[in-house]
């Protein structure tokens, strides 16, 4: 039997979690991969983003709903077995998808203590749009979508526009633009304040003349199973 493509496995796993079906076969398939096949299958940034976003979103749901991992430990606990290697959600988000950047750095600084494995698996270029695709089970998080290699750019564009339209508020009287706190936490990924303003201008066509940016409070209230 031919070996299944890793990106396809990640999509099937997320779908099974969403539909509350048995996903053991997909977990087993992920574990049984060789490290060389992991690197070979995830050969471009498109492959890496589609795979790891699906894995992150699937395992967050598994960890909170079934393994009952606490919010305090859910990001740092290494409980995701892929190709015999153990990963945490932080490894995926900040190590692989953010190209081993420190957590919540305003300047998007690289982590000097990153492992060689994470360096090998990391994307070549940071794509700010991942912040509108990763779901942390809270009310202020973006909803969960399934990502595929051939559609990843269109899907991330749609996720970005949808999130910005839903989370951005313009107060004309106070001359304020209220935006998600994700922009503050990951300012460096967006290219600083100028990058954030350019994004708002390009995606929402907002006139920002003399408007101040205000970061909204982030709601950490549980909102699991928030699928697109």
Per-residue model confidence as pLDDT tens digits over 89-114: 999 999 999 999 998 767 778 899 99
CB 11 within 8 Å of CB 19: no
Asked whether residue 12 carries a pLDDT value surpassing 50, the answer given is yes
- Sheet with 212-215: list strands edge to edge: 169-171, 176-179, 212-215
Phi, psi of 85, deg, nearest 5: -110, 140
Domain boundaries, the chain: 1-228
Asked whether residue 7 carries a pLDDT value surpassing 90, the answer given is yes
Strands (DSSP E) contained in 70-188 are 80-82, 85-87, 169-171, 176-179
Q: What is the pLDDT of residue 3?
A: 59
The DSSP result for 47-77, as a single string, is HHHHHHHHHHHHHHHHHHHTS---TTTTTT-
**In 3D, which of 10, 47, 4 has the Cα closest to residue 145?**
10
Q: What is the pLDDT of residue 1?
A: 37
- Whole-prediction pTM value? 0.96
CB 112 within 8 Å of CB 95: no
pLDDT tens profile 193-217 = 999 999 999 999 988 889 999 999 9
Q: What is the pLDDT of residue 137?
A: 95
pLDDT tens profile 56-76 = 999 999 999 888 888 889 999
């Amino acid at each position: 039997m031919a070996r299944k493509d890793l990106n396809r496995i990640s999509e099937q796993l997320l779908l099974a979690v969403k539909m509350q079906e048995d996903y053991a076969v997909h977990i087993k398939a992920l574990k049984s991969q060789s490290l060389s096949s992991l690197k070979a299958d995830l050969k471009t940034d498109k492959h890496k983003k589609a795979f790891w976003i699906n894995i992150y979103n699937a395992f967050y749901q598994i960890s909170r709903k079934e393994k009952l991992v606490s919010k305090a430990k859910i990001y740092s606990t290494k409980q995701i077995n892929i190709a015999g290697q153990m990963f945490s959600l932080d490894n995926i988000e900040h190590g692989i998808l953010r190209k081993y950047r420190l957590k919540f750095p305003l300047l998007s600084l690289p982590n000097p203590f990153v492992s060689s494995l994470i360096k090998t698996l990391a994307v070549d270029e940071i794509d700010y749009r991942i912040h509108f695709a990763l779901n942390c089970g809270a009310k202020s998080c973006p909803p969960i979508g399934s990502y595929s290699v051939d559609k990843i750019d269109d899907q991330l564009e749609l996720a970005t526009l949808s999130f910005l339209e839903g989370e951005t508020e313009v107060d004309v009287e106070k001359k304020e633009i209220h935006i998600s706190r994700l922009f503050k936490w990951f300012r460096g990924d967006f290219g600083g304040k100028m990058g954030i303003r350019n994004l708002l201008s390009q995606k929402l066509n907002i006139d920002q003349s003399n408007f101040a940016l205000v970061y909204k409070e982030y709601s950490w209230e549980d909102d699991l199973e928030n699928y697109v």
